[in-house]
Chain A
């Protein structure tokens, strides 16, 4: 018959807890170490992706341009009174991107305009992500009638066409940068909500969530400690894409002269000048600088 295996002698009682191993002393320190290590690991992995690094580089470049705008091109150049160049001249050494119909350097306009684009892009993205994540999280987590209600609201916003709403809102509300940010935010959060909800639905069934429930966790604990951190990567990826879309949306809006910035320095605005001016015959450069920003943003996304 089968022999049974000998049991090894029962292990001795646990030794007193010493500090033989080099360990952070407190619980908080443990959490900090973990977060630091996790961040380092993520960075090291990100570094491996060439496309991601290239995208990041371009993004940083444009952000720096926006921040250092006053250094790169004096404010004066934006006002028509300072304009000293020839009207609608082609690119030259003095005016690398040419001049617009008021004689202002297009390069200066681009540099200053990037501030608006990026600011609007980021602010609108913030709104989008906050609203979208909240809706998606609540809908996915609670389920039942709450989910249905939230999702129907989401669907409503999903089908609103962007441009007509933008036009209507900018006519009704006082034209301001805030309005523009609001408009872009309102029309973009719905897709984030759907994506987040789908992920939450899948996470809800994970065993560690159930274990937490069995331990006695409250809804808040589950959402904040287990579900949200694991939806995090998805939100991040989504956010990067949305920044790109938001910036492009802003460009569209200002092309239609819906963005009220006094000397119309937003890139879209400049390109809208061109058709009304003598663009077909000049070689001024339109609002072409912002596709690179959004494209570099999407490179960052693809390398995630």
Chain B
């Protein structure tokens, strides 16, 4: 799977009067030039705070949003050429397991839906039972006639996963798959995803705001800020030796025993309609704020020149002027 220079924007609504006067609607550049590649069988975590565009990017990858620029290639074919066939190979797991199931449909029907839409031949019952079983609901028949409200949160998420598995996809895009679940249940669902990866060779793209989760399950991590990937690389590198000031800031604030003395960024990520000039992180960057950027002579570029990902080490890319100088945040 390869994503090249993806741009997804949302245009705000404009009242009739404002339109006549010639005002332009605010354009929110939710995804502003993202490039990723995923190897078969790997787990990539797309991490960042809310508003950074990770969910929009994931939805674009699923074909649920149309990008206005950029390409998404799956096995070297653009996905928009045959979206229906693509959907059989790439499936999605959602954040809210309760909302993701039609309350009027039984578990059986929710899982079988994919089969019916694509008119998959074969014994539907066996396929549904197999999917539920793979998702950890055993014995599967016991759950056929249950309604979503009769199940717990963890079970509902398993049904959603079964619904994705029933089409035997090659890749799963999981949008915050466990953040709505109780803490003790999360581990089981994550273990299930890992198990599926091992047994079925699935490729998994996990969107999450929780770096601890990325540490637990991801091979590679891509950190996003305001529509761009600012750092991407193997999890051991990115999460233990972060090279971008934003990644470092995120890791610094993960609550820990004895923690709390470390710097916290001020303010909140700006609106995607008002992306700062130059490096989009510079208004909140501690390196800029502490004056270190000036001392190193890169301040002008931080505030003036926009930049993309630079190679730091094989497989580890960072979008920061510090990298060029070989400095650490």
- A residues contacting B by CB (< 8 A) are 5, 7, 10-11, 14-15, 17, 19-21, 23, 27, 30-31, 33-34, 38, 206-208, 210-218, 221, 225-226, 229-230
Contacts and interface: CB of A to CB of B under 8 A. Distances in A.
B114 A23 contact: no
Contacts, number: 95
A210 B163 CA distance: 13
B152 interface: no
B56 to A, nearest CB: 13
Contacts of B134: 14
Given A207-B100, A210-B94, A215 B191 contact: no
Given A214-B62, A215-B91, A208 B117 contact: no
A216 B114 contact: yes
A164 B164 CA distance: 57
A230 to B, nearest CB: 7
A211 B144 contact: no
Nearest to A5: B187
Nearest to B132: A14
A21 B102 contact: no
Contact of A212 (B91, B113, B138): B113
Interface in B64-93: 64, 83-84, 87-88, 91-92
Contacts of A15: 138-139
Contacts of A212: 113, 117
B289 interface: no
Given A206-B99, A207-B94, A229-B104, A214 B64 contact: yes
B129 A207 contact: no
Query: Interface SS of chain A: helix, strand, loop or mixed?
Result: helix
B246 interface: no
In the A-B complex, the 8 residue pairs with the closest CB atoms: A207-B99, A216-B87, A14-B133, A207-B100, A214-B92, A215-B114, A208-B102, A21-B141
11 contacts: A15-B138, A27-B112, A30-B144, A33-B145, A207-B99, A208-B99, A213-B64, A215-B87, A215-B113, A216-B117, A221-B117
A8 to B, nearest CB: 10
Given A11-B136, A23-B144, A216-B88, A211 B117 contact: no
Interface stretch (B44-52, B118-126, B276-284): B118-126
A226 B63 CA distance: 20
A206 B105 CA distance: 14
A21 B117 contact: no
Given A14-B130, A215-B87, A30 B106 contact: yes
B167 A215 contact: yes
B308 to A, nearest CB: 30
Contact of B139 (A10, A21, A216): A21
Nearest to A7: B191
Contacts of B145: 23, 30, 33-34
Nearest to B108: A30
B195 A10 contact: yes
A198 to B, nearest CB: 18
A24 to B, nearest CB: 9
Nearest to A233: B104
A29 to B, nearest CB: 11
A215 B145 CA distance: 21
B109 interface: yes
Q: Which of A21, A33, A212, A214 has the most CB of B within 10 A?
A: A214
Interface in B246-283: none
Contacts of B114: 215-216
Contacts of A210: 64, 94, 100
B101 interface: yes
B96 interface: yes
A38 B102 CA distance: 14
Contacts of A214: 62-64, 87, 91-92
B23 interface: no
A225 B94 CA distance: 20
A217 B191 CA distance: 30
A216 B84 CA distance: 6
Contact of B100 (A11, A208, A216): A208
A46 to B, nearest CB: 17
B117 A17 contact: no
A230 B104 contact: yes
Nearest to A25: B125
B160 interface: yes
Nearest to B95: A207
A226 B163 contact: no
Nearest to B166: A215
Contacts of A20: 139, 141
Given A210-B94, A215-B117, A21 B130 contact: no
B142 interface: yes
A262 to B, nearest CB: 48
A226 B126 CA distance: 24
A11 B99 contact: no
